Chain A
Amino acid sequence: MNSLLSVVIPYWGQSLLRVLGGLVAVLLPAGTIVYVFLFKMMSFMQSRLGPMEAGPQGSLQLFAEVGKWLQKEDIQPTNADKPVFKMAPIIVLMSTFLLVVVVPFGPDAWFTNLETGIFYALAVSSISVLGILMAGWSSANKYSLLGGLRAAGQLIAYELPMVLAVMGVVIQAGTMNLQQIVVAQNAGSMFGINTFGNPYVITQFVGFFVFMIAIQAELTQAPFDMPIAESELVSGYMTEYSGFRFLIFFIGEFATAGVFAMIASTLFLGGWGVPFSWFGWTSMDSVSNWMNIVGPLIVFTKMMVLTFLIMWVRFTYPRFREDQLQRFAWKVLIPVSLVNIMLTAVLKVMF
């Protein structure tokens, strides 16, 4: 980002830009997902209109909701562990902000270009479990505690298939750096044809499938929503939260969905890039500068497509039972992704 649009920006300016960019990259997808999918798509799937009053087609409903939550009383249970109770939602949201910084949006439009990119993303995504456990325990409520424990068990179980699914991509690209994974997909070719590049969703379709299921579970979206199962646990670890603390959990949930979808699009769908052969680019250095503007839009589009899949599944399937969920992770997803890794490694050595 230091030479964006060939203007030299001082260090404090870059830092400010990064903070603002991070806020936009987290809050804009979250708001869009909530309005387009949660308010509108779910309503149409259930043969109703959804919010229609605030603004054209109810498009300003989101601001009304935020305003409502901010006005609500900040209730804390008498027996709650106050400092931990207050810190929990912030840790959940912090993990989302830590996650977005490795997503590349263009040849120069990135927050940080870590060598261990995807490994870092997997590491910081697991911090949210801590926040959820803290929320569940500190609420002094049996339902909350059970929800927190369920969430921890589920998130640990589904982190493994997620890591293993990513491994196939890392082996094929030969790097953990997300920027280089993007370049490897767009500069590559399939069977000598380079019109479409080499998006890993085609060669790593097993990994893509496992990864999408694992994010569904990591986000605790239905059919994996046992931690907040409303018919069993009221609202799980979020039961005692109200007002802006609940709002933080809510934003965190959908912002994480957006960020995970961005990471999935970077890993499997070619990220910000277009196939380099279209414009005669050969490597990272020859990519035109305008990709810094178009790139974020491409990432955003792919993010919307993938979150559409996540939400579609969420609104369609009924909830798993707790034992079915654990069995599915340990006996189906992990063996499948292990076989995928072995096959990828063998094919990588052969070709």
Chain B
Amino acid sequence: MLIAQNIGFAIIAAIMIVGAIRVVTTSNVVHGALWLVVVLAGAAAQYVLLAAEFVAVTQVLVYIGAVMVLFLFGTMLTRSRIGRDSGLNNTYWKLGIPVALALFAAMAIALVDSFGSEKMPTDGAIVNTQQISDQIFGAYLLPFWALSFVLLAAVIGAIVLARKD
């Protein structure tokens, strides 16, 4: 049985929940971003528990190393006050609660429905990186290309919008 993994999962999940609540309740934008780092790092730790090494490393590289750094960069350039900030909530914040619950329910149902009966292999079999790359550059080559084009279009669009001349 995977008792140690389950205990680890519970601890990390608790930290992630506390972090996620602090993201929306903290009264300082930069603190919110830093709590979001905790949540994303927790997600990476959960991937490690699931023996998904490559996904975990990608999570750290993309979300903590790039996305959160840009978030912090942006907030520090614009509203970088230290201490409590007022007026961070807008008037529609209560609307977010049912949306979040509905999203959670939809994802939980989808995941339980499709993977509910599957179990982690207990012998520690790890999906290796080579298999992932074989899948991406073999069976899923076309979606991969399509995604690349979407990202390229987004990058070019950002440059066009940012250039004023």
Contact = CB atoms under 8 A, between A and B. Distances in A.
A79 B82 contact: yes
A84 interface: yes
B138 to A, nearest CB: 16
A149 B129 contact: no
Contact of A149 (B60, B73, B126): B73
A123 B69 contact: no
Interface string B120-144: 0000001011000000000000000
Contacts of A283: none
B64 A137 contact: no
Interface stretch (A13-21, A38-46, A128-136, A257-265): A128-136
Contacts of B77: 149
A120 B28 CA distance: 31
A137 B30 contact: yes
B72 A152 contact: yes
A122 B72 CA distance: 20
Contacts of B60: 123-124, 126-127
Interface in B97-115: none
A148 B64 CA distance: 17
A256 interface: no
Contact of A129 (B31, B34, B65, B82): B65
A62 B66 CA distance: 36
Given A115-B53, A116-B53, A123-B65, A152 B80 contact: no
Contacts of A136: 76
A249 B73 CA distance: 21
Contacts of A153: 73
A215 B69 CA distance: 19
B129 A137 contact: no
Contacts of B129: 115-116, 119, 176
A16 B76 CA distance: 40
Q: Is the interface of A mostly helix, strand, loop or mixed?
A: helix
Contacts of B126: 115
B69 A126 contact: yes
Nearest to A134: B34
A176 B54 CA distance: 11
A126 B73 contact: no
A114 interface: yes
A127 B72 CA distance: 13
Interface string A166-208: 0000000000100000000000000000000000000000000
B128 A115 contact: yes
B76 A133 contact: yes
Given A134-B34, A148-B76, A126 B82 contact: no
Interface in B51-79: 53-54, 57-58, 60-61, 64-66, 68-70, 72-73, 76-77
A127 B30 CA distance: 16
A97 B128 CA distance: 25
B65 A80 contact: no
B72 A145 contact: no
B37 interface: yes
A130 B72 contact: yes
B68 A114 contact: no
Contacts of A119: 54, 57-58, 61, 129
A80 B82 CA distance: 7
Given A114-B53, A124-B60, A140-B82, A130 B37 contact: yes
Contact of B64 (A127, A155, A156): A127
A176 B129 CA distance: 9
B61 A152 contact: no
Contacts of B30: 81, 84, 137
A138 interface: yes
B141 to A, nearest CB: 16
Contacts of A114: 53
A124 B60 CA distance: 7
Contacts of A108: none
Contact of A137 (B58, B70, B72): B72
Given A81-B82, A114-B53, A140-B82, 16 more contacts: A81-B28, A84-B30, A84-B31, A115-B126, A116-B54, A119-B58, A123-B58, A126-B65, A127-B60, A137-B30, A145-B76, A149-B76, A152-B69, A155-B69, A156-B66, A156-B70
The 5 closest A-B pairs by CB, nearest first: A126-B65, A123-B61, A123-B60, A120-B57, A133-B72
7 contacts: A116-B129, A124-B60, A127-B65, A137-B30, A137-B76, A152-B72, A152-B73
